[in-house]
Chains A and B, each alone.
Chain A
Amino acid sequence: MSTLPGQVRLSWQDPVTGEQRTPLLTCPITLGREFACMPVELHGQRVARIVLNSSQVSRYHTLIEWVQGHIRITDQNSSNGTWINGVLQTSCHISSGDLLKIGPYEITLMFTLDGRGLPTAEASEQSIIQVPEPANPVPEEPAATPINILPPAFQAHQLVVQDLHATQLPVEEIDYLAVGAGLGSFIWVDFLRICGVAVQQIRALGIEDRPYARYQRLCLNSQIPAHERLRSNSDSCPDNIWGWPGYALREAWHEFNKGNMNPALQYLWQVFAEPTFAQTYTPRSGNVFASIDREAIRIGWPQIYRFGRVRAIRQTQDGRYAIAYSPGRKQTAFVVARHVHLATGYPVLQFLPDLKAYREQTHDFKSVVNAYEDHRHVYETLERQGGTVLLRGRGIVASRILQRLYEARQRQPNISVLHLMRSPKPQGNRFGKAQRLVENHFEFQPFNWPKACWGGTLREELEQATPEQRTNLLADWGGTTTADRRDWKRFVQQGVDQGWYQITFGEVTQVVPNTQARPTTYIQEKGLRGEVKLEADFIIDATGLDSKVKASPLLNDLVTHYNLPLNPAGRFAVANDFELLEMRNHYGRLYAAGAITFGGPHAAVDSFLGLQYAALCAVDGLVAARAPNLQRLNGLNSLRQWLKWVQNQTP
């Protein structure tokens, strides 16, 4: 691809959504928080104005110009400054590959002064793959088809329930319906049951009977086996809406009963002193799943769950919702429900564009893998014959993979790891008076959001903010982080000292097979000092999941059919109590939870505790709407329900 002089490719990872942005722009280019505060024209040339959302970015922050054969960057008296390669600059020439840091944004600038080829891969929009699913009889349909198999009644804005009965297909009428039957659905149903709703009033539609099935698969693929610890705190208990007793207390009690005083005291000390004086306690995944199994039986989940791939959701004329689903191959059935809760999780996996392109060209699905796919063969092969792994991404999943590679090295010392990062990380995000900790280019935080996002000052601040302010706040608090775990830091330090682990920085230009069909990554280092070639036996992409609602056929259909607004992050725009207000239908209410609501009133929507918060808000909203048999949970009533939980009695 060739570019003109004065053309610059900016590339960065969006701190809110984690997406890669790689616009190719012509100078002059301005960067700032407010579009209208940046000049439209400079010296008679149209300005390319880029908006960066963050309170650390000034309204008009920085100007990038083409001046006498050079690219020049000038800070516009910003409050927090313009940093080039870690140095604060007011005005300077830059070279290709330089790193521009403005607030939480780290932008690599690439250009050629003579306008000859700029070797940067064009990011493809659709760089995603499906979340791995179990082998099952009802496959996901391509985005365009699901409506075709539905009766004509589904073309209406509001359908008539009699029309469904007229199809002779099975129709069930129910008060409450949970779509997805994953963790978010389970938690909502748990609340409904505890607040007085009977088993036969609730239905949950999904494709796996255990609510954590998909989550567990993603955990196992990303190297969190049953004995490993998750990334949520002791009181994030999907099996217990009160969060008490938390997992730390339960684990301590268990150890105490076995006579193991040391671990018991250690867990208690951790929850007492974390994160300031002790490493943060997190529960073992196996314990969390076992606790969910117990709660599922207690609330009657096996009777509530039905197998079904949900195809479409419509309002009905009588103030309810009609849901079409496939209970088996080429079958269709309907549920008509008064209140609906949508928690379908991540529709797709985000895959780095260059890696996706590699797989498409070579049909080699073994050497280049996504961390959330089943990629056991990578470790098995490495343990057998050794080799080199190129790891991309610097979040918690990358840490877990490093841990797995470290373990593999105990069996086969002939394994080396190249960790490719886009840019160095000299300092952590800032917000107000606080700053996030950084070590060895990893940014640390106990959980995926600052703690106060769940129930503290930050939760309140985000809820009260305007949509635009929310994007700023999420950028400030977000970004890729990993947990400050002593063992992980030790692996990294050992690897660096012994030379089997190496961190490399650079912008990937392309990934192609070499003569032995091994994936070879070409990266652009600073200042066009030529390309660097990295050869590896395997490439693992640990950069992330994606939850844009348009990527799910079901959600996309809902959005287009009802013209639903999306928030700036491309997810459902929900009210503070997680209702989709535009879908309100007389008595009927439709709520959403989980990753599909990210970018709205709550930061930590995709977490156990966030799902509980969303469910609590939704149930309180339903109580206010006088939903059938639902009582507000509080005081003695709540205590009574907790005692039932303790005794494992049905609610």
Chain B
Amino acid sequence: MTPTLLGRWQTRLLLTETVGLVITLLFCGGTFGNPAGPIFFWLLQYIVLFGLGWDYLYIYIQSWRWDQDWPAALQWIAALWEGLFIILIVEVANLKLPGTGIAPGWHLGWFMVHYGLVWLAVFITSQSFMRLIFPRWRFRGGQWL
């Protein structure tokens, strides 16, 4: 992948709010035996929101790379970091993110399952389906609009 900043933002927004949202709604409904509730929805919105900021950092790191690319391996490392960041905020810094206080409340294990599944779905879609429905996407650094 050789994303541009705009491409990162557009792809992130599109994929988390479609593929990611479908999975999240399943979690909200308690489909996986998890406690049902809107917290998963809110967490997804925070992931997107913080992600838009992280993208800024990634583009900066990318400019140090001769090929100005972002291999899949780095995408995974970045995703791990983004998940960890949410955990740090909630578990360590004890920040109460608005919307996450509603019952049934934060549960570390379920967050990890939810986040992991959302990321996996987003990653796989970006590697395959995106190219098929947006043939210009790969030439435009991830911009689909």
**Residue contact B72 to A271, C-beta cutoff 8 Å:** yes
The verdict on B96 contacting chain A, using a C-beta distance below 8 Å, is no
**Residue contact B63 to A460, C-beta cutoff 8 Å:** no
Instruction: Name the B residues within 8 Å of A275 (CB-CB).
Output: 67, 69, 71
**Residue contact A272 to B71, C-beta cutoff 8 Å:** yes
**Residue contact B141 to A456, C-beta cutoff 8 Å:** yes
**Residue contact A450 to B139, C-beta cutoff 8 Å:** no
Q: In whole Å, how far is B83's beta carbon from the nearest beta carbon of chain A?
A: 19
Instruction: Name the A residues within 8 Å of B2 (CB-CB).
Output: 451-452, 454-459
Which one of A5-13, A152-160, A434-442 contacts B?
A434-442
Would you give the 0/1 interface string for A260-279, flagging 1 where the beta carbon is closer than 8 Å to chain B? Answer: 00000000000111111100
**Residue contact B73 to A457, C-beta cutoff 8 Å:** no
**Residue contact B67 to A445, C-beta cutoff 8 Å:** yes
Looking at B3, B128, B135, B139, the one whose CB has the most chain A CB atoms below 10 A away is B135
**Residue contact B71 to A450, C-beta cutoff 8 Å:** no
Instruction: Name the A residues within 8 Å of B138 (CB-CB).
Output: 235, 243, 455
Complex Cα distance, B138 from A274, in Å, reads: 17
The verdict on B133 contacting chain A, using a C-beta distance below 8 Å, is yes
Instruction: Name the B residues within 8 Å of A451 (CB-CB).
Output: 2, 67-69
**Residue contact B128 to A244, C-beta cutoff 8 Å:** yes
**Residue contact A273 to B135, C-beta cutoff 8 Å:** no
Complex Cα distance, B62 from A235, in Å, reads: 21
Instruction: Name the B residues within 8 Å of A259 (CB-CB).
Output: none
Q: A245, A436, A633: which contacts B66 (Cβ < 8 A)?
A: A436
Nearest A residue to B130 by beta-carbon distance?
A: A244
**Residue contact B68 to A457, C-beta cutoff 8 Å:** yes
Q: In whole Å, how far is B119's beta carbon from the nearest beta carbon of chain A?
A: 15
Which one of A224-232, A485-493, A583-591, A636-644 contacts B?
A636-644
The verdict on A44 contacting chain B, using a C-beta distance below 8 Å, is no
Q: B4, B71, B128: which contacts A276 (Cβ < 8 A)?
A: B71
**Residue contact A456 to B73, C-beta cutoff 8 Å:** no
Complex Cα distance, B75 from A277, in Å, reads: 13
The verdict on A398 contacting chain B, using a C-beta distance below 8 Å, is no
The verdict on B84 contacting chain A, using a C-beta distance below 8 Å, is no
Instruction: Name the B residues within 8 Å of A460 (CB-CB).
Output: 4, 141
Instruction: Name the B residues within 8 Å of A273 (CB-CB).
Output: 71-73
Report how many residues on chain B are interfacial, defined by Cβ distance under 8 Å.
28
Interfacial residues of chain A within 466-511, with CB under 8 A of chain B in the complex: none
Complex Cα distance, B79 from A398, in Å, reads: 40
Q: B66, B71, B132: which contacts A434 (Cβ < 8 A)?
A: B66
**Residue contact B72 to A244, C-beta cutoff 8 Å:** no
**Residue contact B132 to A638, C-beta cutoff 8 Å:** yes
Instruction: Name the B residues within 8 Å of A274 (CB-CB).
Output: 71
**Residue contact A456 to B66, C-beta cutoff 8 Å:** no
**Residue contact B139 to A431, C-beta cutoff 8 Å:** no
Instruction: Name the A residues within 8 Å of B128 (CB-CB).
Output: 244-245
**Residue contact B131 to A434, C-beta cutoff 8 Å:** no
Q: A235, A242, A276, A433: which contacts B135 (Cβ < 8 A)?
A: A242
Instruction: Name the B residues within 8 Å of A613 (CB-CB).
Output: 139
Instruction: Name the B residues within 8 Å of A235 (CB-CB).
Output: 131, 138
**Residue contact B66 to A616, C-beta cutoff 8 Å:** no
Instruction: Name the A residues within 8 Å of B132 (CB-CB).
Output: 242, 244, 638-639, 642
Nearest B residue to A194 by beta-carbon distance?
A: B135
**Residue contact A452 to B136, C-beta cutoff 8 Å:** no
Q: In whole Å, how far is A266's beta carbon from the nearest beta carbon of chain B?
A: 15
The verdict on A142 contacting chain B, using a C-beta distance below 8 Å, is no
Q: In whole Å, how far is A252's beta carbon from the nearest beta carbon of chain B?
A: 14
Q: A243, A436, A452, A634: which contacts B131 (Cβ < 8 A)?
A: A243
Q: In whole Å, how far is A613's beta carbon from the nearest beta carbon of chain B?
A: 5
**Residue contact B69 to A634, C-beta cutoff 8 Å:** no
**Residue contact B69 to A445, C-beta cutoff 8 Å:** no
A interface residues, Cβ below 8 angstroms from B:
235, 241-245, 271-277, 428, 431-437, 445-446, 450-452, 454-460, 613, 616, 633-636, 638-639, 642
Supply 25 A–B pairs (Cβ within 8 Å), ascending by A. A242-B135, A243-B131, A244-B127, A244-B131, A272-B72, A275-B69, A276-B73, A433-B63, A434-B63, A450-B68, A451-B69, A452-B2, A452-B67, A452-B68, A454-B2, A454-B139, A456-B4, A458-B2, A616-B135, A634-B134, A634-B135, A635-B134, A638-B132, A638-B134, A639-B132
Lowest 8 A-B CB distances belong to which pairs? A456-B2, A452-B68, A451-B67, A452-B2, A455-B139, A451-B69, A273-B73, A434-B66
